[in-house]
Amino acid sequence: MKLKDFSKVLQSSTVLRSRNRLQPAGGNGDVVYPPTYSEGSTRHFRRIDGESRTCVLLDAVTSQANRMEQALRDSSITTPHLSVNVGNYHLTSYDVPHRICDAILRGCTLDGVPYLNSSVGKAILNHDVREIFGYSPSSLLFGFWHSNRTGGVGIKVPRSIASEIVAVDVENAPHTASRIDQLPISKASKVESIKKPDVVAKEGWDWRLNAKGKKPSEALLGNIPPSITDDRGITMDYALQCVSISLSSLRSLSLGNDSEVGVNFLAALGVAGFAEAFSKGCRLRSRCDLLPESQYVWEALSGPESVSLGEISSEVALGLLEESISDVKKAGLPWHETTMLEPSDDLLKLVEEGVQSIGV
């Protein structure tokens, strides 16, 4: 598929979407592990094909967005983004939680100018979407909010791409745990488990005998009796991954006279991010590797009727992205490649204090 064909379909559409079934890497019936949360449950009911089905959330919209952003960050095609080195940490606007408005970036400078007084910050404060496009178009695609501005008047750009994976028709599966120690270690012994990384790095030990310590099992020594529970893993009929790109949302960004060119690029960016992240399967976490039952097929909708775009492979998606970048540059839309920031003294001190406190 070429960009001219892609663009023609977009002109008469309001949404791009792809709905795909996935199976565990071990095949149907293999156990997969959902994410764990401090509160609440991933299990819920959904209406699918006219029926109420027991489902479990395997990967939330925010998590899927992070995976796509990381794929774009690592892609062979570079798009405008912000970048900063804070001590030993290298971060970009693809990495930080609130994208172009993140507090980490707001604690940086650009050419010696505080972030919010810089050209990037002025674009944020002035709600200048066109200029923001030139610094971090992915922020416009995945959404952001300058939420800490007084009076709630900070710029808010809604998410235009959303993807989610849920397990459908689930049953609990057994989860086992045990440890049989090869050495005769008694639970009557007392051991101190050393948690602080700086102490471990200095002494070279992460446990030691201590009369005031706890049982050896606290340091993962000795036997741990086998146990079995059914509240961790699940089996499922299939996993459903749904991704949609709202063209209406992208058009509402109002990029000026070059809006169509910008929308084409942002849509291509979304398709490329999805393809780069998931075209070879989904590695969500330990014991949760998923493979698609068939090729990812995209469709464009403007109502009940749809137009099939067929499979858009990673190679094709990157080709669309490359063509759309060329059009963006020809149209004269802002395009700043990589914008390097410098951490402020306060940000460096904040990180240093954290390192000393946590011991990382």
Residues 99, 104, 109, 113, CA torsion sign: positive
Cα atoms found within 13 Å of the Cα of residue 311, Cβ hemisphere only = 9
Instruction: Give the relative orientation of helices 61-73 and 259-278 as an angle to the nearest 10 degrees.
Output: 100
Residues 352, 112, 340, 159, CA torsion sign: positive
Give residue 360's pLDDT.
61
What's the pLDDT band for 153 if we cut at 50, 70, 90? confident
Is residue 340 scored above 80 in pLDDT?
Answer: yes
H-run or E-run covering 262:
helix 259-278
User: What's the rounded Cα separation, in Å, for the pair 143 and 80?
Assistant: 16
pLDDT digit string (tens) for 223-267?
Answer: 988 999 887 899 999 999 999 999 999 999 989 888 999 999 999
Q: State the average pLDDT over residues 51-68.
A: 98
Task: Write the DSSP symbol of residue 32.
Answer: B
Helix/strand/coil percent split, the chain, to 5: 35, 35, 30
Residue ranges covered by each domain of the chain: 3-169+238-358, 181-222
H helix and E strand count, the chain: 11, 18
pLDDT digit string (tens) for 278-326?
Answer: 988 899 999 999 999 999 999 999 988 899 999 999 999 999 999 999 9
Give residue 49's pLDDT.
93
pLDDT digit string (tens) for 168-212?
Answer: 999 999 888 888 999 999 989 999 999 888 888 889 999 999 999
Residue entry with tokens 């998590």: 63
Q: Are 70 and 186 in contact (CB under 8 A)?
A: no
What's the pLDDT band for 345 if we cut at 50, 70, 90? very high
Q: State the average pLDDT over residues 339-344.
A: 98
